[in-house]
Amino acid sequence: MVQWVVITGASSGIGQVLTIGFSNSGYNVLAIGRNEIALQRTKLLTKNSKVTIVIADLSEESELDKVVKILKVKIKYLIHCVATTEPHLPLTTITRAALEKAINVNVMAPIFLTQKLALYFDAMTRVLFIGSDYIGVNNKIRPNITGSYGISKSALRVAVEYFRHEYKDTAFSFKSL
């Protein structure tokens, strides 16, 4: 049986590495990102052609629907690496629109894509939400992480706990790293 892995934020960083790794291990990968050139580069780095790229800004509702229309198969793994650290501004000067964009990319996109793709989950599906260390030692705020990123990734971590609770009677597995 063909197994599919869906990876958001596949154009760079850990999303790119996971896309290459899963593809080279024989999985079919739906690689999602905003940067077409970077996604094409990711695909070229794989040893086979098991990568389907989707150029999408998942903070937009219509872009979420684009992914769902393309993927109508059972999903083995859904891995959310999508993130933006921008804007690099202190909370004392950030605009409402800039904070909303960060929250839409880092929180809303993974929540609503997961919600829409749940139709393609089965008992073996695993969902992973990846974030970086936005809180340092002893829960002290790290000075090189922007407030918009820290706030949004904290919200996503809480969302994962709610997903776990809401899907507790299913075999789906939700994990946050």
Instruction: Look at the pTM and tell me if it is higher than 0.85.
Output: yes
Residues 146-151, mean pLDDT to the nearest whole number: 82
Angle between helices 147-166 and 109-117 (to 10 degrees): 30
Q: Distance between CA atoms of 123 and 108, rounded to whole angstroms?
A: 25
Q: Would you say residue 171 has pLDDT above 60?
A: no
Question: Where residue 149 falls among pLDDT bands split at 50, 70, 90?
Answer: confident
Question: Where residue 9 falls among pLDDT bands split at 50, 70, 90?
Answer: very high
Residue 112 belongs to domain spanning: 4-176
Residue pLDDT, tens place only, 69-121: 888 789 999 999 988 888 888 888 899 999 999 999 999 999 999 999 999 98
Overall number of domains in the chain: 1
Question: Where residue 135 falls among pLDDT bands split at 50, 70, 90?
Answer: low
Dihedrals φ, ψ of 42, to 5°? -60, -45
CATH number (domain holding residue 71): 3.40.50.720
C-alpha closest to that of 29 among 48, 4, 9? 4
